Amino acid sequence: MKLFKKILVANRGEIAVRIIRACKELGIKSVAIYSDIDKDSMHTKLADESVCIGPASSAQSYNNIPGILTAAEITDSEAIHPGYGFLSENPHFAEACLTSGIAFIGPSAESIRLGGDKAKARQIMKRRGVPVVPGSDGPVLNEEVAMKIAKKIGFPVIIKASAGGGGRGMRIAKEEAELDKMFFMAQREALAAFSIGDLYVEKYIPEMRHIEVQIIADTKGDIIHLGERDCSIQRRHQKLIEESPSPFVTEKFRKKIGEYAVKAARALKYRNAGTVEFIVDNESNIYFMEINTRLQVEHPVTEFVSGIDIVKEQIRIAAGMQIELKQSKVRLSGHSIECRINAEDPERFIPSPGKITFLSLPGGPGVRVDTAAYNGCVIPSHYDSLIAKLIVHGRDRSEAIARMRRALDEFIVEGIKTTIPFQKKVINDPDFIKGDYNTGFVEKMNAPKQAPVT
């Protein structure tokens, strides 16, 4: 099997830069696409070729399937890498690439479709012996049905969009009186975000860990996992800090959750890189949550501890190559932490677009920065607020935390607000340092401190 000669990167920002770098190291030419306001973006400067795909609106540029396929055809690109976001989990895009004779660097359209239908994915996992959170077996049609299920499994419950992602289309009903309102709000948000209003209901586990497992699967049916990532530091279901390995996971637990992840991937006849996400309660019970059929934002922490370039593996598998590494040979070394640096107010989390007037990136041993930002660049308001991922690696968790603390101090961004002050607050929190946290950590950390009773 031979690698592709040229790959079109159907994305922007740091992930486009990340993919272009992998292409360069593999000796593959890259093509960048960009909207008119992204003409001076870093990914257009690093790629071998670049093509303007349309105006700022993502619907007319980065989500414009006919335009992207045309760009691939006129540049003689043999494959398309979608990155994450935009069209990465769009089964119609994967099918359109196949129809056009262009390889899609990701799973099959059918796997994307099944993974995107979270209610159906739950049903499949349940049949295959992968534990799921108690809840509805399929889409819930109305509030009455939701109420029956909620009463059966007990409040609180969480209402989720079947086609959801990024924390959208999710609402928690703590008691019966809230259910109708939360159902309506979740449905309205799901329709606005995904054009699909299907919802499902699950038992809400208030104190939980969000643990995900990186899997890689080739077209021959070989599947391996690269350990877990702890993504429990969240705000409104949006991940903020990730680490690998999880501070509470034992080797026995890792083996168990890894086997569940591989079983889940096999159930969907999955190929390429993907992530199986789980909820873990206070008693270490594991429940399948969803499968993300794309490259994850937080993939670098797994690359640091496993030594495996996940993007290169994606490209090799899409070209028809087999995974060379067997599960028994996977070795995890040290500890890695990632902070998502967003162009947002660090207290209110309101987007802070604008021009970066000064930028100084951290460096030194064990520090990696994935970014497309540079001095004088403009962060537009049209897209996601992520401007950089700061990733560190240490011999153990203690060294990784110390290294992240040092790197955050070195990271200077002027002209816009960023979440760096918030990240510093988390990294220095005693509970985080102890590894004693769950998905309620940020809410608890930001809660007003009560004065001691005298």
Checking if the pLDDT of 166 tops 70, the result is no
Same-domain status, 254 and 152: no
Cβ contacts of residue 413 below 8 Å, gap of 6+? 341, 356, 358, 359, 373, 387, 420
Mean pLDDT calculated for residue range 144-154: 95
Q: Pick the last residue of a domain from 184, 203, 222.
A: 203
Same-domain status, 54 and 188: no
Residue 165 pLDDT: 67
Same-domain status, 226 and 298: yes
Same-domain status, 151 and 51: no
pLDDT band (50, 70, 90) for residue 162: confident
Same-domain status, 161 and 276: no
User: Per the domain annotation, does 129 fall within a domain?
Assistant: no
**DSSP helix/strand/coil, 380:** coil
- Tokens representing 397? 């968790």
Same-domain status, 199 and 218: no
Checking if the pLDDT of 112 tops 60, the result is yes
pLDDT in tens, 337-349: 999 999 999 999 9
User: Per the domain annotation, does 395 fall within a domain?
Assistant: yes
pLDDT in tens, 260-308: 999 999 999 999 999 999 999 999 999 999 999 999 999 999 999 999 9
Residue 453, classified by CB atoms within 10 Å of its CB into exposed (0-12), middle (13-18) or buried (19+), is exposed
- Residue 269, Cβ neighbours under 10 Å: how many? 13
Tell me which of 294, 316, 368, 403 is the catalytic residue.
294
CATH of the domain at 399: 3.30.470.20
CATH of the domain at 97: 3.40.50.20
| Cα–Cα separations (whole angstroms), residue 131 to 289, 294, 308, 411 | 9, 22, 29, 42
Residue 236 pLDDT: 83
pLDDT band (50, 70, 90) for residue 435: very high
Number of structural domains, the chain? 3
User: Per the domain annotation, does 314 fall within a domain?
Assistant: yes
Q: Quote the CA–CA distance of 372 and 386 in Å, as a whole number.
A: 10
User: Do residues 41 and 387 make contact, with C-beta atoms less than 8 angstroms apart?
Assistant: no
pLDDT in tens, 349-378: 999 999 999 999 999 999 999 999 999 999
User: Per the domain annotation, does 75 fall within a domain?
Assistant: yes
Same-domain status, 385 and 272: yes
User: Per the domain annotation, does 391 fall within a domain?
Assistant: yes
Q: CA angle 105-89-98, nearest 5°?
A: 45
Q: Quote the CA–CA distance of 280 and 242 in Å, as a whole number.
A: 16
pLDDT in tens, 116-140: 888 889 899 999 999 999 998 888 9
Same-domain status, 153 and 263: no
User: Per the domain annotation, does 329 fall within a domain?
Assistant: yes
CATH of the domain at 176: 3.30.1490.20
Residue 90 pLDDT: 96
User: Per the domain annotation, does 186 fall within a domain?
Assistant: yes
Same-domain status, 322 and 360: yes
pLDDT band (50, 70, 90) for residue 450: low
Same-domain status, 140 and 15: no
Same-domain status, 374 and 245: yes
pLDDT in tens, 13-68: 999 999 999 999 999 999 999 999 999 999 999 999 999 999 999 999 999 999 99
Q: Domain of 424?
A: 209-446
Q: Pick the last residue of a domain from 58, 84, 105.
A: 105
Residue 375 pLDDT: 97
294 in catalytic set: yes
Question: In sequence order, what DSSP letters do the residues of 222-272 get, joined into one string?
Answer: -EEEEEEEEEEEEETTEEEEEEES-TT--HHHHHHHHHHHHHHHHHTT--E
What count of residues does the chain have? 454
Q: What is the mean pLDDT of the chain?
A: 95
Mean pLDDT calculated for residue range 428-452: 85
pLDDT band (50, 70, 90) for residue 452: low
pLDDT in tens, 193-222: 888 888 999 999 988 999 999 999 999 999
User: Per the domain annotation, does 189 fall within a domain?
Assistant: yes
Checking if the pLDDT of 1 tops 80, the result is no
Residue 15 pLDDT: 98
Residue 195 pLDDT: 81
Bridge partners for 336 per DSSP: 244, 393
Its pTM stands at 0.92
pLDDT in tens, 228-259: 999 999 998 889 999 999 999 999 999 999 99
Percent of the chain with pLDDT over 90: 89
Same-domain status, 101 and 20: yes
Q: Pick the last residue of a domain from 203, 232, 257.
A: 203
